[in-house]
């Protein structure tokens, strides 16, 4: 009994202390599963893809464009709008000593292959990065903070399983009759049903940041020798050069020939990208990535020598036999979910949102219980009110802020300097206002009224997204539905779904408020 | 929950700091003891660290007294450290 | 095969949820006592269904991906069932019957599983 008590205490506080940060991480991390799709929506200059992609016809155009833009590049990469990616895009890397060293990219029109001038946007990548790099604070600190929050989450999950009395019996139970049990049941459902996901995502999140938080371990094996430590780090993170160039220029086969060659070898597979290492060199190697059909790797990859199209096999390396690395890769793929097709991706997203819901309902349940206890004991409940207000500002405020971020991205001028920064600021400005709103002094302030107001705001914001899209671009629902561009349709539709959910919450809250006022009136009479 | 504030502070410290130290010491020993390539063993140990950390944090609050909690963290850390030192330097 | 796996998962969830008196009471209009024997059978059947669904996913998608698929599918199905049991318990069986009918039709037409 005593053990369960302490575990309950630990569960409560471990979850509460980092509740807001965990909620942020779950919500933005879930949005990150659709980072490409979100970025595509935020770059409306790319026209709606009007027919299926004709790679053999368009690949030469991409290659020509690369030769024109980056004659001295050593690595190039062509992304095709297949599978999940909505982008027909070229990337190139200039070595040191050439103008503009580093990686660059350009977006192409998937119908014609002509370059498209897209606006700068923080895109979905910002939301994705927000879930572990945070913002406004140094990267290292953010890694530690998010890792600590994840550690608290892990402890909360384990203790949550320990203290749940009827974890199997109540598996499908959601009692809505009593307010307090309803919140608890909701918390349990969202915690227990996707429990494997929660455990996986938390533990893998910790592991992905292990080179920030667990540095003493490699230091214990190799001392503080930076070269050795670098080697450990590279074992995990470097792709390894498959081939070194010999510096002799040679004309290689056109990429489209390699495309066709690979296509004839692996019929039925969809080629998603082509990458060339040591471009223009005698030893250039072409990597052809196809959407994987099975397994956790996102792509099946084959390599060819660019000069003659013969298959190329890299040297096998020591690390290919590492047990720890295969474990790490499984964990990494599971966390990032890059292998997931549309169905699984939505389930990933849903599970992530359920995590956010678990954190949110947990902290709401805590506030309700505390308020009961305080009122029973006749204690001052101002501190509880603080938490309740924060709950409103965090739980309802963050979705408003993200919606505001999408809207700002469309409403800011496409040519504005620093527009990327302002997009990012907008999210925090809106969130700050939403956090402040419950604390504003007013005459009569009922908690459910605050909830209703914020959800109303959220409903308005999300309902206006397809509308603003229609006003500010050519890629609105009319076009995207006509040409069945599901990425764009999905974004606008999901905004509407969210708006409907928020409106439903408002309706629920108002309904309950009406009942409770009627009850109090009845009692006083 | 009838726990004095000092006990809670002590246990929280044990969970966060003590847990981190224990997790690292265990990983040190594991990295030295696993019969794998040295880099492989180190990476394996690093990935298991968080498991030790979670167990340690839970132990810090499950123990009857705060002092027991600390003892339960410090003792295994010391043993693990000893094993590591023996394997690595002897 | 994927459809079949999902359906098996739903079967499993439904029979396991019937183990609780509260759900039985809400789902059926007539009340009658379920013997322990029946409940045990139900439990076995439910777990078998879940295992079968897992196997089916693994057969189609391979071990790693099959595991991910089956857990994700289970989460979604269990969530929908919980909500359904809470909001419209009487509809559960009808909906389930409808799904079964659809599946049979699909089988008769001979489409992909």
Please report residues of C whose CB lies closer than 8 A to that of A354.
75, 79
Tell me the pLDDT band of A238, cut-offs 50, 70 and 90. confident
Tens of pLDDT, residue by residue over A120-164, are 999 999 999 999 999 999 999 999 999 999 999 999 999 999 998
Please report residues of A whose CB lies closer than 8 A to that of C43.
none
User: Is residue B1 predicted with pLDDT exceeding 50?
Assistant: no
Percent of chain A scoring above 70 in pLDDT: 97
Q: How many residues does chain A have?
A: 525
pLDDT score, position A346: 94
User: Is residue A9 predicted with pLDDT exceeding 50?
Assistant: yes
Q: Identify the burial level of A253 via C-beta atoms within 10 angstroms of its C-beta, where 0-12 means exposed, 13-18 middle and 19 or more buried.
A: middle
pLDDT score, position A111: 86
- The DSSP secondary structure of A418-441, one letter per residue, reads THHHHHHHHHHHHHHHHHHGGGS-
Q: How far apart are CA A279 and CA A75, in angstroms?
A: 6
Tens of pLDDT, residue by residue over A196-220, are 999 999 999 999 999 999 999 999 8
Q: What's the whole-number mean pLDDT along residues A2-18?
A: 90
The CA-based dihedral angle spanning residues A315, A319, A320, A321, taken in that order and rounded to the nearest 10 degrees: 130
pLDDT score, position A519: 67
Tens of pLDDT, residue by residue over A369-425, are 999 998 888 888 888 899 999 999 999 999 999 999 999 999 998 888 899 999 999
Tell me the pLDDT band of A521, cut-offs 50, 70 and 90. low
The CA-based dihedral angle spanning residues A405, A410, A414, A416, taken in that order and rounded to the nearest 10 degrees: -40
User: Is residue A241 predicted with pLDDT exceeding 70?
Assistant: no
SS3 A290: strand
Using CB atoms, which residue from A169, A176, A294 is nearest to C65? A294
Using CB atoms, which residue from A6, A220, A327 is nearest to B47? A327
Full domain range(s) for residue C79: 2-109
Residue of A nearest to B43 (CA): A324
Tens of pLDDT, residue by residue over B12-51, are 999 999 999 999 999 999 999 999 988 999 999 999 999 9
Report the candidate in C54, C66, C50 with the shortest Cα–Cα distance to residue C14.
C50
Contact status of A200 with chain B (Cβ, < 8 Å): no
pLDDT score, position C69: 92
Report the candidate in A135, A259, A235 with the shortest Cα–Cα distance to residue B38.
A235
- The DSSP secondary structure of A103-167, one letter per residue, reads EEEEEE-TTT--EE-PPP--HHHHHHHHTTT-SSS-HHHHHHHHHHHHHHHHHHHHHHHHH-TTT
Q: What's the whole-number mean pLDDT along residues A351-372?
A: 94
Contact status of A217 with chain B (Cβ, < 8 Å): yes
**d(CA C99, nearest CA chain A) in Å:** 19
Chain B residues 70-89 with a CB less than 8 Å from chain A: 84, 88
Tell me the pLDDT band of A520, cut-offs 50, 70 and 90. low
Domain parsing of chain B, residue ranges: 18-89
Using CB atoms, which residue from B31, B43, B61 is nearest to A236? B43
Tens of pLDDT, residue by residue over A441-452, are 887 778 899 999
First to last CA, chain A: 45
Query: Which stretches in chain C have pLDDT values below 70?
Result: 29-31, 110-113
CA distances from C46 to A205, C18, C39, C53 (A): 33, 10, 10, 11
Tell me the pLDDT band of A525, cut-offs 50, 70 and 90. very low
Chains A and B share 3 or more Cβ pairs within 8 Å: yes
Contact status of A206 with chain B (Cβ, < 8 Å): yes
Using CB atoms, which residue from A151, A221, A328 is nearest to B50? A151
Compute φ and ψ for A360, nearest 5 degrees: -65, -50
User: Is residue A40 predicted with pLDDT exceeding 50?
Assistant: yes
Chain A residues 308-327 with a CB less than 8 Å from chain B: 318-319, 322-325, 327
Residue of A nearest to B41 (CA): A324
Q: What's the whole-number mean pLDDT along residues A185-193?
A: 93
Q: How far apart are CA A253 and CA A274, in angstroms?
A: 13
User: Is residue A473 predicted with pLDDT exceeding 60?
Assistant: yes
User: Is residue B9 predicted with pLDDT exceeding 80?
Assistant: yes
User: Is residue A110 predicted with pLDDT exceeding 50?
Assistant: yes
Instruction: Specify the higher pLDDT residue, A329 or A52.
Output: A329
Q: How far apart are CA C65 and CA A295, in angstroms?
A: 5
User: Is residue B56 predicted with pLDDT exceeding 60?
Assistant: yes
Domain parsing of chain A, residue ranges: 2-43+126-208+337-515, 55-117+241-316
To which residue do tokens 């206002």 refer?
A433
Using CB atoms, which residue from A6, A9, A328 is nearest to B47? A328
Compute φ and ψ for C34, nearest 5 degrees: -95, 125
DSSP state, residue A178: S
Residue pair A491/A37 in contact (Cβ under 8 Å)? The answer is: yes
pLDDT score, position C112: 56
Q: What's the whole-number mean pLDDT along residues A46-63?
A: 88
Interface of chain A toward chain C, CB-CB under 8 angstroms: 169-176, 189, 193-194, 196-197, 294-296, 330, 334, 339-340, 344, 347-348, 350-351, 354
User: Is residue B2 predicted with pLDDT exceeding 50?
Assistant: yes
Does A174 contact C85 at a Cβ distance shorter than 8 Å?
yes
Number of domains in chain C: 1
pLDDT score, position A242: 59
């Amino acid at each position: 009994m005593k053990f369960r008590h302490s575990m309950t205490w630990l569960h409560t506080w471990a979850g509460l202390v980092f509740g807001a940060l965990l909620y942020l991480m779950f919500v933005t991390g879930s949005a990150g599963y659709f980072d490409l799709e979100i970025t595509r929506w935020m770059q409306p200059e790319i026209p709606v893809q009007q027919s299926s992609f004709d790679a053999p016809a368009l690949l030469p155009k991409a290659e020509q464009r690369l030769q024109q833009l980056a004659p001295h590049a050593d690595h190039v990469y062509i992304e095709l709008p297949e599978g999940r990616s909505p982008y027909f895009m070229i990337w190139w890397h200039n070595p040191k000593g050439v103008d503009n060293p580093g990686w660059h990219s350009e977006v192409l029109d998937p119908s014609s292959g002509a370059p498209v001038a897209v606006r700068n946007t923080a895109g979905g990548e910002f939301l994705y990065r927000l879930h572990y790099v945070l913002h406004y604070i140094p990267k290292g600190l953010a890694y530690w903070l998010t890792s600590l929050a994840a550690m608290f989450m892990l402890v909360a999950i384990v203790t949550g399983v320990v203290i749940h009395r009827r974890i199997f019996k109540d598996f499908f139970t959601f009692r809505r009759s009593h307010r307090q049990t309803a919140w608890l049941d909701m918390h349990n459902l969202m915690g227990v049903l996707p429990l494997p996901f929660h455990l996986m995502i938390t533990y893998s999140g910790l592991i992905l940041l292990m080179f920030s938080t667990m540095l003493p371990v490699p230091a214990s094996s190799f001392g503080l020798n930076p070269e050795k430590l670098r080697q450990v780090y590279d074992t995990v993170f470097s792709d390894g050069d498959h081939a070194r160039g010999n510096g002799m220029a040679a004309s290689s086969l056109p990429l489209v020939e390699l495309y066709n060659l690979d296509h004839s070898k692996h019929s039925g597979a969809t080629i998603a990208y082509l990458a060339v290492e040591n471009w223009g060199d005698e030893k250039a190697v072409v990597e052809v990535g196809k959407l994987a059909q099975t397994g956790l790797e996102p792509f099946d990859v084959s390599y060819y020598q660019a000069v003659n199209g013969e298959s190329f096999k890299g040297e096998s390396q020591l690390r290919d036999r590492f047990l720890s690395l295969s474990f790490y890769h499984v964990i990494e793929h599971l966390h990032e979910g890059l292998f997931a097709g549309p169905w699984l991706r939505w389930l990933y997203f849903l599970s992530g949102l359920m995590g956010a819901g678990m954190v949110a309902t947990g902290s709401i349940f805590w506030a309700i219980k505390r308020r009961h206890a305080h009122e029973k004991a006749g204690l001052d409940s101002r501190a509880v009110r603080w938490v309740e207000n924060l709950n409103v500002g965090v739980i309802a405020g963050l979705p408003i802020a993200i919606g505001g971020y999408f809207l700002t991205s469309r409403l800011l001028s496409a040519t504005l300097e620093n527009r990327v920064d302002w997009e990012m600021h907008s999210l925090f400005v809106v969130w700050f206002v939403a956090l402040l709103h419950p604390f504003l002094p007013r005459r009569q302030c009922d908690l459910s009224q605050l909830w209703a107001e914020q959800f109303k705001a959220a409903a308005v914001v999300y309902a206006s997204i397809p509308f603003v899209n229609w006003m500010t671009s050519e890629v609105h629902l009319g076009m995207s539905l006509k040409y069945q561009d599901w990425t764009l349709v999905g974004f606008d539709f999901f905004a509407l779904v969210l708006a409907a959910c928020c409106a439903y919450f408002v309706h629920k809250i108002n309904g309950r408020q009406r009942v409770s006022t009627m009850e109090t009136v009845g009692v006083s009479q | 929950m009838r726990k004095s504030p000092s006990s809670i502070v002590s246990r929280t410290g044990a969970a966060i700091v003590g847990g981190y130290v224990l997790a690292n010491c265990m990983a040190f020993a594991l990295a030295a003891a696993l019969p794998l390539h040295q880099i492989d063993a180190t990476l394996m140990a690093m990935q298991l660290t968080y498991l030790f950390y979670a167990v340690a944090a839970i132990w810090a609050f499950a123990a009857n007294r705060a002092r027991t909690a600390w003892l339960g963290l410090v003792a295994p850390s010391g043993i693990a450290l000893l094993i590591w030192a023996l394997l690595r330097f002897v | 095969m994927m459809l079949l796996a999902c359906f098996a998962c739903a079967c499993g969830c439904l029979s396991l949820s019937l183990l609780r008196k509260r759900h039985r009471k809400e789902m059926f209009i007539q009340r009658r006592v379920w013997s322990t024997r029946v409940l045990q059978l139900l439990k076995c059947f439910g777990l078998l269904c879940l295992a079968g669904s897992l196997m089916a996913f693994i057969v189609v998608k391979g071990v790693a991906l099959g595991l991910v698929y089956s857990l994700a599918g289970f989460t979604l199905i269990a969530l929908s069932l919980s909500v359904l049991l809470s909001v419209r318990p009487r509809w559960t069986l009808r909906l389930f019957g409808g799904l079964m009918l659809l599946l049979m039709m699909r089988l008769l037409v001979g489409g992909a599983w």
